[in-house]
Amino acid sequence: MYIIVGLGNPTREYAATRHNIGFDAITRIADENHISLDTKKHKALCGKGTINGHKVILAQPQTYMNLSGESVRQLMDFYKASNEEVIIIYDDISLDVGCLRIRPKGSAGGHNGIKSIIQHMGTQEFSRIRIGVGDKPKGWDLADYVLGRFPAEEQMTIRETLGEVSKACEVIMSEGIEAAMNQFNQSKKSKE
C-alpha cells in the first residue's frame, strides 16, 4: 500500500496557489485514476484506490502546511506503511516553473511542510517529488509569492507538469525511485 501525499493549505483562499501545487497534483492523480477524494480522516482528505495494480491512499492534509507531519504520521500508523511506501509531493521555489526533481531523501530545504514530516517520521528518507514554482521576483515577500497564483502564461506548463507528476508516481511504485529519477529529473531543464 502506497500513501501519496500532496502538500498544501486547506480552505478556499489557498486553492490553486503555488504553495498548494501538491494538492493540485493529488487532485490530478485522483481524477486520472477514478479515485474519489471523499473521506476525511487522519487529519486529511483521502481517497483509496488502485493505480497500475498498486493499492494507494491519496491524501491532502487538512492541517496547515507547517503541521503536515501530523497527518502523514497518522496515515502511516493506521495503514502500517513503511517510509518506502510514502511519496510526498510539494512546491519548490528553487526550481523553474514546471521542473520536477524526484529524490529518495534529503533535508527540508526551508520547506515547513517537509520540516514537519521529517520531525514526525523521524527520518529524511522518504520519496519526494518537488515541483518547481519559480523563484520570487526581486523585492517580493516570499509568503506573498508562494501564496499567489500562477499567471496565465504558466497555466499550460503547470497542467503538463501535473500530468508528469502522475506518471512519476506510477513509475516510483512500479519500477522504483531510481527509474523515476532517471526518467523525470531530466524531463525539463532549468534555465541556463
Query: Mind telling me the catalytic residues?
Result: 19
DSSP assignment of 52-103, as one string? TTEEEEEEEE-S-GGGHHHHHHHHHHHHT--GGGEEEEEEETTS-TT-EEEE
* Residue with the three cell numbers 493549505: 9
* Distance, CA of 41 to CA of 111 (rounded, Å): 24
**Is the separation of the CB atoms in 136 and 86 below 8 Å?**
no
**Is the separation of the CB atoms in 128 and 114 below 8 Å?**
yes
Three-state secondary-structure class, residue 131: strand
Burial class for 166, CB neighbours closer than 10 Å (0-12, 13-18, 19+): buried
DSSP 33: T
DSSP 189: P
